[in-house]
Amino acid sequence: MAKIKGAIVVNTERCKACNLCVVACPKDVIALSKEVNDKGYNFAYMQNEDACVGCAACAYVCPDACITVYKVKVEE
């Protein structure tokens, strides 16, 4: 059976920690990091990598175009 695996890359310097990607993610993949970027924002990151399906909901709602999304079909 094929399974979809996804991953996101966050442009941490562009991120303003608005948290909208965290809310948008249907799989609870994303969280705001404890670290901060140069502007002092707790940027978004993949907390739960395995759960990502690459749906890109986070990237659609991101107001700062920080999120790049990848997706691959994996045969099991």
Partner 1 sequence: MAIQNIIKPENLVYTKSKILTDIPMHYCPGCSHGVVNKLMAEVIEEMGIQEDVIGVAPVGCAVFIYKFLDIDFQQAAHGRAPAVATAIKRLMPNKYVFTYQGDGDLAAIGTAETIHACNRGENILIIYINNGIYGMTGGQMAPTTIDGMKTATCPYGRNNEVNGYPLNITNLLAILEGTCYVTRQSVHNAGSVRKTKQAILKGFKNSMLGKGTSVIEVVSTCNSGWKMTPEQANNWMVENMFPVYPMGDLKDL
Binding site for partner 1 (CB under 8 A): 5-7, 9, 11, 13-14, 16-20, 23-24, 41, 46, 49, 54-57, 59-72, 74
Least Cβ distance, residue 35 to partner 1 (angstroms): 17
Least Cβ distance, residue 20 to partner 1 (angstroms): 5
Q: For residues 37 and 15, is the Cβ–Cβ distance under 8 A? A: yes
Alpha-carbon distances of 52 from 36, 38, 41, 64, rounded to whole Å: 23, 27, 23, 21
Is 34 or 74 the residue whose CB approaches partner 1 more closely? 74
